[in-house]
A and B are shown apart, each in its own frame.
Chain A
């Protein structure tokens, strides 16, 4: 169903386009001229280290999201499946590898002939194990090295032994990076990148926290788009510059009494991945229902305030192991409970993503435990980040509309 409601666009969208276009231009030039080395990096991998060593950094997960948003992932996933990848594994992976096998990418609209060729690939398992297999595929194809930082999954207490181990692994990959980069690691440059990453993350946090204001100047569907620079330019001044402007616009909205959803009556929390192929429809649907999705696990994940230029390795280990997705349910519940209160949440939507179990937090009863404690109702919808075949839109709309009516009654009658 195509939603007809209008949504209020942020003026910063134009600036976002320029910022992202410039990022891809730098990558394209590096790819064409090979004047700079290119590293593939997982979305919460060691971007700062790579930027500090002179790499242009490309993020396959960002590309996966682009494929989902282009609504063409369904045409790529079967190709990957035909090459031996299960349709039940990460659909970022299957759509990205499927598109690669078909030699198609949305980047072709920006002058690329194909995705940029890597000189090295680096990932951190803090997000999921799939990135390992994903990056290994490209390492085999291009005949280039692949490096791993192995963070334990399902962390309860963030113990010193975990931090020490992860920090050591950050250091251990440096010699191989130096070899590929043909330059020596420079501690001062790394500190500078860590400082910029910290500043960008703090600004991103401030952007997200403007949604604590009632009514909110921004929705989850905005942040899912404006998250781009903190994902791909973390550790550079580009991200810092971008979020300064976005934050100013949002503060101005608050000052002028402008809300993202014109008549905000409800405030929801979104847990799980966005459904990229129908993100715009969701934005319009919630706007029509006078409901603002004000906060989300997804957008909140890129807040690495613990990064500290005075101790870059240990603080990197701390920041990237503190990440929501890598924590045990007990820790996640505490984080969620705090957010529900801070953002004045009326209800929670859990998107159970068929191919992204680590980003689906309603599989082990967390949703029931949290409701018992907070009394905040929830709705579960089944779908997927990229594979539209796993999603029944009409059934989900009925669920969302009913949920909104249920909450309106609870709040106002």
Chain B
């Protein structure tokens, strides 16, 4: 039996094709754009074209109710917690850094969400923050990582506001600050936003597009908290969780 899980995020739509209970046989990601249904349809069409069969679809994320199919909608926080617990089978804290949300999720010994928190009203510390800076400075995620690796000292970025942060960065560049130090400062500002959401006392799992595309961020998290991991293709975990939740409910 095959099923599709789709996480319709604000920036990207992530889809997985799951065989039987939890075996992921295919992944697909596309930009969400302005039309959630169209993005989801792209995911479904991709899997249908490559596997030539119809699948039941389960959704979560911002556009979860926009799909004009017989999709079942889930909270992406519950779905993500489900998939993370499936992987590690122990209590943990998840920090998920997505396009416009950073989520803190505490999972108990039974795999249930014990508490959760989302970023406060603004996109500081989320993927949009990095995207905007990358666009304005015209550098790719790969270059971000390379710069951060070269850094010998951090140049702190103080501004919460994405727009002001860019101005601050441009000001520091024009004053002769080096790019590696600035990029390290940018990464650390994201990490600080995450750690101020709540106290992390146990095993920490990092998920989302940012850890997937910026491995240096994961290394920096691990410097602060050695008990931290980030699974491969972690941005697909909520989509996987959508399917796993159906296992529980049936």
Q: A residues within 8 Å of B by Cβ?
A: 354, 377, 380, 382, 390-392, 394-395, 398-399, 401-403, 405-406, 409-410
Inter-chain CA distance A28–B198, complex, in Å, is: 52
Which of B113-121, B135-143, B161-169, B202-210 lines the interface with chain A?
B113-121
Interface centre among A354, A392, A398, A410, by most chain B C-beta atoms within 10 angstroms, is A398
Interface of A: prevailing SS = helix
Name the CB-closest residue of A to B245.
A405
Known: A398-B62, A402-B113, A403-B116; 19 extra A-B contacts, CB below 8 A, are A354-B121, A377-B115, A380-B117, A382-B120, A382-B121, A391-B121, A392-B121, A395-B100, A395-B101, A395-B121, A398-B76, A398-B118, A399-B118, A401-B75, A402-B78, A405-B75, A406-B114, A406-B115, A410-B112
Q: B residues within 8 Å of A by Cβ?
A: 62, 75-78, 100-101, 112-118, 120-121
Chain B min CB distance to A409 (Å): 6
Name the CB-closest residue of A to B73.
A401
Residues in A with CB closer than 8 Å to B116 are 399, 402-403, 406
Task: Decide: A405 near B78, CB < 8 A? Known: A394-B62, A398-B62.
Answer: yes
5 residue pairs of the A-B complex, CB under 8 angstroms, read: A377-B115, A392-B121, A398-B118, A402-B113, A409-B113
Chain A min CB distance to B1 (Å): 25
Name the CB-closest residue of A to B64.
A398
Chain A min CB distance to B39 (Å): 16
Residues in B with CB closer than 8 Å to A402 are 75, 77-78, 113, 116
Name the CB-closest residue of B to A410.
B112
Chain A min CB distance to B6 (Å): 16
Chain A min CB distance to B109 (Å): 14
Residues in A with CB closer than 8 Å to B100 are 395
Name the CB-closest residue of A to B115.
A377
CB-based contact A398/B77 at 8 Å: yes
CB-based contact A406/B118 at 8 Å: no
Name the CB-closest residue of A to B65.
A1
CB-based contact B113/A406 at 8 Å: yes
Residues in A with CB closer than 8 Å to B117 are 380
Residues in B with CB closer than 8 Å to A354 are 121
CB-based contact A395/B112 at 8 Å: no
Name the CB-closest residue of A to B198.
A368
Residues in A with CB closer than 8 Å to B76 are 398
Name the CB-closest residue of A to B119.
A395
CB-based contact A406/B78 at 8 Å: yes
Inter-chain CA distance A2–B78, complex, in Å, is: 23
Residues in A with CB closer than 8 Å to B120 are 382
Residues in A with CB closer than 8 Å to B114 are 377, 406
